[in-house]
Chains A and B, each alone.
Chain A
Amino acid sequence: MSGFLANGILILALIVQVNLSASLKDVRAYAEIVEVAPTNRYLAAAAFGDNELLYRRLVMDLQNAGDTGGRWSALEDYDMRRVVDWLNALDSLDHRANHHMVLAANYFSQTQAMPDLVHLVKYIQSHVAGDPERKLYWLNQALLMAERRLEDKDLILDIADQLGSYDFPAMTPVAYILPAKVYEKWGDYEGAATYMERAIDKLGARISADERQVLEAYVTAMRRQTSP
């Protein structure tokens, strides 16, 4: 092959390549907003024995999902069931971390699609149930989401029941009393009285005599509301 022909092929190939690239310039590889969550087996293999490192990498993937490659996605367009699958996958890598909980409670919870919030609230409930002593704070966030945005009475009372089932030294008096206040707010005075009685019992010596008197007066007031 002569040098002239080789040079000709070089120039021609370069011109064709540039033109083909120009025609593909605006074409983007198809990417879903939230990909299907990884399986447990995939996680075990991809971690190479270091779950924490994989957690930190994947939680950033979830944080940036839908907002990569020059695109931005509205939260209502996210498949929140898949988001919850991702959150569960991240739980399996590091349940103690809070990064994915911040995403669930403070970021994805801002979705415009209200029905999606139920998935997030239920996820947070199950996450807290896995380690209530460390994760109780997030149940309060779930309660806020359910009360202020969803206004779903059954769900709210379910969260209050979950909170009312816990008893450990790090729990604050407010955490013991909160279920009663929630029940009162939603018109279930008998439930409020029952939970306040439990709070008085569990708090024991952690409250003063005056505080106990106030709480007992609350129980009396609730019982008075329920009696005909």
Chain B
Amino acid sequence: MKPTVRFVIITALRDRLFVSLYGLLAITFVIAIYLSGGAIAETDRMAVVYAAGGARVMLMMGFTVFVAFHLERLYETRELEALLSRAISRETFIVAYWIGMAFNAALILLPVAAVIFFFQLSMSGAVLWMGSVLLESLVVIAFAIFCGVSLERAIPTIFVTVGFYALARLIGFFVGITHGIVKSDVNQVADPIMEYLSYLVPRLDLVGQTRWLVYGPDSLNIGGVIAAQLAVYVALLLAAAMFDLRKKHF
């Protein structure tokens, strides 16, 4: 497993994932600080919320695009076949690939942590935010791996993963609509669909809250449930990716 993990990290370096994302994050931070300068109050809060919120979106998009094109290239150049021809099972490859990307994600999150800690608004909130964004990254990476392995093409992988991410960030809103008082004809059809869909989509709208950075963690006691759900969801996605890879004929 170790060589595959190292392979993912080295190819991330080769494909300039770190340089690109560090550069994008730096631009995001500069824009956040610039925009917050126009606020007539709570400038530091504005800066940290813009920086963290912008960084979260950049990271998710960056990981999605990287995994999509990386896996497409593995298929096209037959590198994947070469990797699998060694003494490594397809299941181990999926896990190793995800661990390699998880390591990359943790490394890339470091400058974000540095910027957030620099503002020193809420230490406990910052730790919680970093942890939850890392978890969110791991789910997105797992989903991108699942799509990349199944679809073998970068563009549909990116579209589907971005769609999934948007849905996961909005699922709480959709569930809220299903419990609304005012019902139209569309609701009669859409509500049950959303209800069932909500059982299959993780609640990413509950993680990565920038208000934690400003006010500290909430007193809600659902952190453990959310972390458990995301961990289970990663396992589910990786198992699905293993299932798909097993069906591939090289």
Contacts and interface: CB of A to CB of B under 8 A. Distances in A.
* Interface hub of A45, A59, A97, A107 (most chain B Cβ within 10 A): A97
A52 B52 CA distance: 11
A44 interface: yes
Contacts, number: 74
Given A45-B173, A49-B169, A97 B40 contact: no
Interface residues of A, number: 23
A110 interface: no
B49 A49 contact: no
A158 to B, nearest CB: 27
A49 B205 contact: yes
A217 interface: no
A56 B49 contact: yes
A211 B38 CA distance: 46
B170 A48 contact: yes
B190 interface: no
A84 to B, nearest CB: 18
* Interface hub of B35, B206, B210 (most chain A Cβ within 10 A): B210
Given A56-B46, A97-B45, A49 B39 contact: no
A51 interface: yes
Contact of A53 (B41, B205, B210, B215): B210
B42 interface: yes
B41 A49 contact: no
Nearest to A57: B50
Contacts of B56: 50
A45 B170 contact: yes
Given A48-B166, A50-B56, A53-B53, 10 more contacts: A48-B170, A49-B204, A49-B208, A50-B208, A56-B49, A63-B40, A64-B38, A97-B214, A103-B40, A103-B41
B6 interface: no
Contacts of B205: 48-50
B163 interface: no
Interface string B165-190: 01001101100110000000000000
A99 B40 CA distance: 8
B4 interface: no
A94 interface: yes
A57 to B, nearest CB: 8
Contacts of B211: 51-52, 94
B209 interface: yes
14 contacts: A44-B173, A48-B169, A49-B170, A49-B207, A50-B209, A52-B49, A52-B210, A53-B49, A56-B50, A60-B46, A98-B41, A102-B40, A102-B41, A102-B42
Interface string B44-64: 011001100100100000000
Interface in A41-76: 41, 44-45, 47-53, 56, 59-60, 63-64
A153 interface: no
B42 A98 contact: yes
Given A48-B170, A56-B50, A97 B210 contact: no
Nearest to B42: A99
Interface string A87-103: 00000001011110011
Nearest to B212: A52
Nearest to B206: A49
B128 to A, nearest CB: 13
A107 B41 CA distance: 11
Contacts of A56: 45-46, 49-50, 53, 210
* Pairs A-B, 4 closest by C-beta atoms: A49-B205, A53-B53, A52-B211, A102-B41
Nearest to A51: B211
* Interface hub of B39, B49, B166, B205 (most chain A Cβ within 10 A): B49
A63 B39 CA distance: 8
B172 A97 contact: no
A34 B173 CA distance: 27
Contacts of A107: 40
* Interface hub of A53, A60, A103 (most chain B Cβ within 10 A): A53
Nearest to A41: B177
Interface in A169-224: none
